[in-house]
Amino acid sequence: MNKIEKTFDINIILMTLFSSLEAIREEKNIELIYDMEATIPRELRGDPAVLQHLLTQTLNFVFKYTDQNEIILSLSAPEDFVYEEAISFKIKSTNIAKEKVLAFLESNLSKDLEKLDGKIIYEKDADIHLDIPFMINELGYRRHYRLPDVSMLGKKVLLICESPKVAQSIKKMFNYFLYDVDVGLEAFKERGNDLTPYDILIVEDKFNTDALEHMIAKIQQNMALKYVLLQDDHHVETKIISVSTHLVKPVTEESVFELIIALFKNERDHEEIKTEVKENIIDLEKMLQAHKHNEKHVNPSSKYEENLQSMIERKRGLDLPVLDKKAGEENTKNMGLKYANELKNFLDSFERSDIYFRQIVNEKAINKIKEFSVDLEKHAKLIGAESILKLAETVSLIFVYNKLDMLPIYPGKYHIELQKLITEIKKELKIK
């Protein structure tokens, strides 16, 4: 059997996997957490379609039979990923009978594992353990994420998150970039409730309050503190003056990488000095307890639904460039890519995608529309295609609020925006 060897980004596989499982995750109220070791390469060569199918089957089975509300999919690889190595995919603590797990693995995954040259590992410390060999896409690179400036390394983070498992997963990903991470209020109180040592404060959005925002904004006048909200995927970003940006679940190594660049890419243009002043003291515990006390009176879903139309209107009112060359060149440079090559790749991938988009909307192929939107957002953001990125984000909002009756108007809008973008790309590439 000839193995398929395509280059793919493991993070795209994980994000698509997360989206494809949305219905059962929400039905069972299960949080899927990715625990990625630093040894996992960003880009691999193999068969991404079969890997996607295998992981989707596996997690569908786990979600169907588990009674746990948090499931961790861990990915690990050898320290020296030289050429071709096995990546281990493990799921522990499902509380599913061992016999049922083994029966599923051996009867449902054998064909996919054969195509991938993968195997089931039988061990006591994991309910499910699959080893699958992949080739590395870039030979000779040990660090798979390279920040564009050494000044971005070695920051200090305070992370306030409800789930210890989510917190430990995020901490590990920041550790890759030599970041020192304190998790929880106890660690913060040991430092005297002083935010001065920290470069980044990450707070899960369910704990965010107006009082906390105003306090952080005041502290930001004294120190260069980045305030980040950790959000569930179904929440919509809102503009809050003290919030620097958002970190959206599920968190992957790549999303942490992009977060760091977003926070510190212009840091050298306006460096600020931390000051030892008493205004940096904050009683976070008191503010978070106040939130918990009032939590039962808030219905987040109704609040967000009321804002759907206003969010779409706000995006519609933005006057964004069709192709922001400066932003695209900066994005591709940060990722070690050539701008012209990525413009050509976008053209090859999306030149006739308006036909495909219209077709899947007419077919109401929800999963295909979601996957297309994620793929379009990723590529549009990379090349600086701001106006079409806005449209893709608007389509995502429609899914967030389950307002699928609004979708039919967007194939026409996409066709118009795509033709404008193709014209600009061909001008840039000097294609007639």
Q: How far apart are the first and last CA of the chain?
A: 43
Instruction: Determine, yes or no, domain membership for 141.
Output: no
| Same domain, residue pair 191 and 226 | yes
| Same domain, residue pair 312 and 330 | yes
Instruction: Determine, yes or no, domain membership for 145.
Output: no
Instruction: Determine, yes or no, domain membership for 144.
Output: no
The β-bridge partners of 7 are: 45
Q: What is the CA radius of gyration of the chain?
A: 23
Whether the Cβ atoms of residue 198 and residue 216 lie closer than 8 Å to each other: no
| Same domain, residue pair 293 and 321 | no
Model pLDDT, residue 290: 57
Instruction: Determine, yes or no, domain membership for 282.
Output: yes
Q: Which amino acid is at 99?
A: E
| Same domain, residue pair 257 and 343 | no
Count of other CB atoms within 10 angstroms of residue 51: 23
CA distance 137 to 315: 37
| Same domain, residue pair 291 and 308 | no
Model pLDDT, residue 211: 79
| Same domain, residue pair 105 and 12 | yes
Model pLDDT, residue 407: 83
The CATH number of residue 220's host domain is: 3.40.50.2300
Domain final residue pick, 136, 166, 185? 136
| Same domain, residue pair 294 and 309 | no
| Same domain, residue pair 271 and 406 | no
Instruction: Determine, yes or no, domain membership for 369.
Output: yes
Domain final residue pick, 114, 136, 158? 136
3-state secondary structure of 295: helix
Strands 128-136 and 84-91: antiparallel
Instruction: Determine, yes or no, domain membership for 27.
Output: yes
| Same domain, residue pair 52 and 158 | no
Model pLDDT, residue 399: 64
Instruction: Determine, yes or no, domain membership for 143.
Output: no
DSSP E strand boundaries for 269-411: none
* Closest by CA position to 35, among listed 91, 110, 85: 91
Q: Which amino acid is at 165?
A: K
| Same domain, residue pair 245 and 361 | no
Helix (H) or strand (E) holding 232: none
Distances (CA, A) of 2 to 5, 83, 234: 9, 19, 40
The CATH number of residue 46's host domain is: 3.30.565.10
Four-point Cα dihedral 82, 85, 89, 90, nearest 10: -90
> CA angle at residue 214 from 241 to 307, to 5 degrees?
55
Note the Cα 415 to chain centre separation in Å: 27
Spans of the chain, pLDDT less than 50? 235-237, 239, 269-278, 296-307
* Closest by CA position to 424, among listed 367, 384, 391, 381: 384
Q: Which domain holds residue 28?
A: 6-136
83 burial level (CB within 10 Å; 0-12, 13-18, 19+): exposed
Is the peptide bond prior to 250 cis by the omega test (within 30 degrees of 0)?
Answer: yes
| Same domain, residue pair 382 and 245 | no
Model pLDDT, residue 276: 47
Whether the Cβ atoms of residue 193 and residue 274 lie closer than 8 Å to each other: no
Whether the Cβ atoms of residue 387 and residue 425 lie closer than 8 Å to each other: no
| Same domain, residue pair 32 and 108 | yes
Domain final residue pick, 242, 266, 298? 298
Instruction: Determine, yes or no, domain membership for 323.
Output: yes
Overall domain count for the chain: 3
